[in-house]
Structure formats: structure tokens, C-alpha cells
Structure 1
């Protein structure tokens, strides 16, 4: 009888715990939608590889480089080390950086430099257009922060496969009101402590969708294990 009670507890407790987490406005198992169906990358914008870049059906880290390449180089390195290298194995994951026309050569040099310490750079996508077009596109998201004078920002954003902006909204586990729509690429700590967890949550979401459809994805299985372990460690 005692063994049966223990087995019931072990079976029920994870389900109850998950339901509690899933019902919260923000927690370590769910990342709220902040805005829906945002604008797609215009097809006429150019890329280094001449490929067409789109947000739809991709999990995207969206950034705006600006024309100050020295500052962006430091941000790109942080993003590469703290975010990209952890998740580039996920087939539908991409880093899309929107840059002013005329910065192509400098960015190409950065890619060559990072390629020396990065296994695969194929998930880095750079899109080029005029400063006016960049500003119009950025404004379409209605972010709470503005672009700087170079048409760039150190802030980067998480978009899901439906072009929804994802972030934090509502009360956190401490009961404090929280709103986060972006992550500071100039801060390695912000990327490591905040953004890494939130990207994991998005990947976990799609892994569970695949699992529901009985499809296997070893990379996403590894990500979800990490999220669930992290949740347990924080209790």
C-alpha cells in the first residue's frame, strides 16, 4: 500500500507542478506573447548570400546593427558566444541582423573572424537596406526603445515562428511586476542569465509540439531537458 501511494505521488506531482507553472503569466515554462503577427522582412532587401530571408516558420533573434561596426562587433561576439553557439543545432533557429547599406564589407570581415571560433555560421543572417527603411521597419514593431543615431540598438528581440514578439509580462516568481521585450547584447550577463533561459523556453515549446505529433528531434529533446532541470533547480 505504501509503495502504491509513493507511485501515485510520483506520477501526480509532476503533472500538478506543470499545470501550476503553465497557468502563471510568466514563469520558467512559458514565455508570453507581447505582440502578434509582426511585419515580415521585405523581399527586396539584400543579403550577403543573395538568399531570401523570412521570419515566418523560424525562431528568430532579431537585431539592428547600426553603422557603428566597432560597437556591433562586440555585441555580435557576445551573441555568438552566449546564444548562437548553444542553439545553432536547432534547424529552425536563426539570428537575423538588419544593417544599413554600405556596411556589407565590414560585416563580411566579422563573419570570417567569428568563423574561426564557431563550428557553423549558417544561422547568422544579415539583411541590408537604407536607413529610412530600417527605421520604418523598426517602428512597425512599436518597441518601447528607439534606434540610436546610427539606426542600430544593442537590444535584440525573440520572435517565434508566427512572427510574434515573445518576452516577459506580468508577475514573476517573486511576485514582482515584470516586462521584458528585449535583451541587451552588450551585456554578456544579460544574455547568459536572462536570454538563454527564454530561448530555451521557446525551443521547448516547439519540441513539445513535435513530440505531440510523434516526431523526434534529439536537439530539442536536449533543450527541454535543460529547461526542466533548470526549473527544478530554482525551486
Structure 2
């Protein structure tokens, strides 16, 4: 009996635990679409002159507001937990939106961020106050921008320009955005959801390549 008990503990329990966690809603399912009509980025201009679009990209979208240098701590958190681990994936980008009134502070923010990361896929786009509000409103989030057009929350937008997130979070409400002021949220929720959407597209690519053969 002791031998059987030891064998069960060593082999069966880890397998049961694995199957339990693998059956979680966010592990082998698609990350839910919360909104299918996000306002396009083509109405904004990239600060380096490039055209920035949702189409064909997995986008992490943020709103830095009129004083983007105040976004620095949030940006550090986002860089450490999300951008640095995943920015080398194909078609991944991080886009920070700000109104024209905040453009003067961008160079200062970029300088600070460039000391700890490669900003190749970290993009800043500028638009009118009206366009910033239209973009945020189109997300359908259950919270608002502040009076400086800032929110600490970032969003996941897929390659078709659709907002992804969780249909039901711990409080029973949809999870539209992820609070960059909270390391716990980035660690325990956003990291998991980014992995899900990246895995989703990798699986689609494998199926496409297999069908071509």
C-alpha cells in the first residue's frame, strides 16, 4: 500500500493538477472579442512619421494623455511585464496614443524608455482631442479617460482591429483593459491573456502552413 501511495503522489497527482489547470477558460480557448469596431489608427500620425495601423498586428494600446512623461512609471511596468517578454514576436506592437497638446513631452519619455528597451515596436501616435476620445469611446470600456485624456489601463486589439479581453472578470464584469499601475494585474491577468492571443495566432499559422502542404 505504501508503494502504491508513493507512486500515486509522484505521478498521478501532478497529472491531475496539470489537467485541472489546463482546462481553464483562458488556456485552450480564444480570447473573447469584446468589441468588433475599434476606431482606426489611420486617423493618427506616428511621431516618427510612420503609418501605424491595427490591421495585421497584435496591438497593446495605451493612452498617455496630455502629460505623457507622467506615464513613465506605468510604461516601466508595461515594459517589464509585457513589452520586453513579447516584443520579438512577429506582428506584435505597443501603441501609446496622446493628444497634440502632449507631443512636446514625448522625446523626454522616449529617452527614458530607450535606456531599458528597444523601442522598435513601441510606437507613439498623435491625434486631435476629438480623435483620442473617439478611439477610447469605440472600445466600449466600463471606465473613462480622465480630464487629461489619460488612463492607466491598456487594451489588447487583435489583427482585425477587434478588442479582446475577458467576458467576465472576478467581479462578474467584463475585463476591457489592464491596469498598468498594478503589477498583480499585469502578472496574473494580462500576461496570461497575451499568451493566449499569441498562441491563438501561432495555431492559426500552423494550420495555414499545414493546409498549404
TM norm structure 1:
0.74
Is the alpha carbon distance of 1:183 and 1:49 closer, same or farther for their aligned partners in structure 2, counting shifts above 3 Å?
Answer: same
How far apart are residue 131 of structure 1 and its match?
1.7
Counterpart residue number, 1:57: 56
The 2-side partners of 1:147 and 1:40 are apart by 18
The C-alpha deviation readout for 1:143-192, integer Å capped at 9, x for no partner, is: 211110001111111011111111111488xxx84521110011122112
The C-alpha deviation readout for 1:62-115, integer Å capped at 9, x for no partner, is: 111111334311111111111000101012001111101132232222212221
Counterpart residue number, 2:147: 149
The 2-side partners of 1:90 and 1:32 are apart by 21
How far apart are residue 56 of structure 1 and its match?
1.0
The 1-side partners of 2:144 and 2:80 are apart by 26
**Alignment partner of 1:190 out of 181, 185, 188:** 185
Is the alpha carbon distance of 1:210 and 1:131 closer, same or farther for their aligned partners in structure 2, counting shifts above 3 Å?
Answer: same
Counterpart residue number, 1:210: 205
Q: What pairs with 1:59-78 in structure 2 (closer than 5 Å)?
A: 59-78=58-77
The C-alpha deviation readout for 1:13-58, integer Å capped at 9, x for no partner, is: 9xxx69x94xx8x332321111113221134x22211111100111
Counterpart residue number, 2:4: none
| Contact 1:37–1:162, Cα closer than 8 Å, also in 2 | no
Does residue 200 (structure 1) correspond to residue 195 (structure 2)? The answer is: yes
Counterpart residue number, 2:85: 86
Q: What pairs with 1:114-153 in structure 2 (closer than 5 Å)?
A: 114-118=113-117, 120-153=118-151
The 2-side partners of 1:171 and 1:109 are apart by 36
The 2-side partners of 1:95 and 1:82 are apart by 13
**What is the SS of the residue equivalent to 1:180?**
coil
The 2-side partners of 1:63 and 1:181 are apart by 12
TM norm structure 2:
0.81
Count of residue pairs brought into register by the alignment? 191
How far apart are residue 122 of structure 1 and its match?
0.8
Segments of 5+ residues of structure 1 without an aligned counterpart are: 1-12, 216-235
The 1-side partners of 2:107 and 2:92 are apart by 21
The 1-side partners of 2:26 and 2:42 are apart by 34
RMSD: 2.3
Following TM superposition, the consecutive aligned residue runs of length 4 or more in structure 1 with deviations greater than 6 angstroms are none
Mean CA deviation greater in 190-199 or 33-42: 33-42
